[in-house]
Amino acid sequence: MSAIGIGQSIVLGVVEGITEFLPVSSTGHLKIAEGLMDIPVDDKAVVAFTAVIQVGAIAAVLVYFFRDIARFASAWGRGLVDRGQRQGHDYEFAWWVIYATIPIVIVGLAAKPLIEGPLASLWVVAGSLIVGSALMWVADQRGRHKRNEDDTTFADAMLVGCSQILALLFPGFSRSGATISTGLLLDLDRIAATRLSFFLGIPALTGAGLYELKDAVGGGVDPVPLAVGTLVSFLVAYASIAWLLKFIAKHSFDAFVVYRIIVGALLFALLGTGVLQA
């Protein structure tokens, strides 16, 4: 039985809210924070707790992009009952999000023992932070940033959606980092790649949180800290989304690349000296 206190849940909620949509790896930062607070990172209830508080961050996306999501959902609903409504981009995009979520669901269920076992190691997190930063730098430099959101295609959505698997298997790689980098390699501009990353993350992360809810509550995690952590992650994530979209409108992703390398190197050092246990 794993007990996570309210103070720890607030810390984890802040970490989750800041890092879920920034391309720096929320899973990696949560595992580092848990390690520093002596919370067992491989405990099933702890894994479930972190998955559930992600729902708070996802709720922030739903609120922040409510008009866009309502537009997509409305177009999808109209298209289901009226063939004439199926030619619009919004109707197609709604289906693309659904299709692009299927691969990560299949891999997530099939590889669950690995994800919660050997791949949960902080050594994996450290290496993934650095490798993922290299991919992001290449993508930002090589991408031509010439296509906007209206130019996205089914192939774009599937490739970006499948790239979420990298972060699922290798915590530290960053789901947003992998998806944004893929979008940039497909020549989407920074805002289009980031917004696509947000929309594609909603079903996968919400599903993961709801799936793990039973383990979080039934596994010994007090529902009060769980609720507090989720609320904190919502509030902080909302602010992070607003900040990120304003930041990338005028800046490259270089700052995130440098930050990831520093954190990865520091984590290697902490693990190597025994300050943190993998």
Q: Residue 1: inside a domain, yes or no?
A: no
- Any domain includes 69: yes
- pLDDT category of residue 214 using cuts at 50, 70 and 90: low
Q: Could you tell me if residue 278 is inside a domain?
A: no
Which of 186, 134, 129 shows the shortest CA–CA distance to 161? 186
In a domain, 204, yes or no: yes
Would you say residue 129 lies in a domain?
Answer: yes
Question: pLDDT confidence of 207, banded at 50, 70, 90?
Answer: confident
93 is a domain residue: yes
Helix (H) / strand (E) element for 190: namely: helix 190-218
Q: Is residue 164 part of a domain?
A: yes
Q: Which residues pair with 147 in a beta bridge?
A: 188
Range of the domain at 230: 6-272
Q: Is the pLDDT of residue 71 over 70?
A: yes
Q: Report the C-alpha gap between 209 and 199 in whole angstroms.
A: 16
Question: Hey, what amino acid is at 188?
Answer: L
| Backbone dihedral angles phi then psi of residue 188, each to the nearest 5 degrees | -70, 150
pLDDT at 204: 85
Number of domains in the chain: 1
Report the distance separating Cα 9 and Cα 211, nearest Å. Answer: 20
* Average pLDDT score over the chain: 90
As a whole-number percent, the residues of the chain with pLDDT over 70 amount to: 96
Q: Please tell me the predicted confidence (pLDDT) of residue 91.
A: 95
* Percentages (nearest 5) of helix, strand, coil residues in the chain: 80, 0, 20
Between these two residues, 247 and 54, which has the higher pLDDT value? 247
Q: Is residue 277 part of a domain?
A: no
Token look-up 């997190």 returns: 125
Kindly indicate the confidence band of residue 206, based on its pLDDT and cuts at 50, 70 and 90: confident
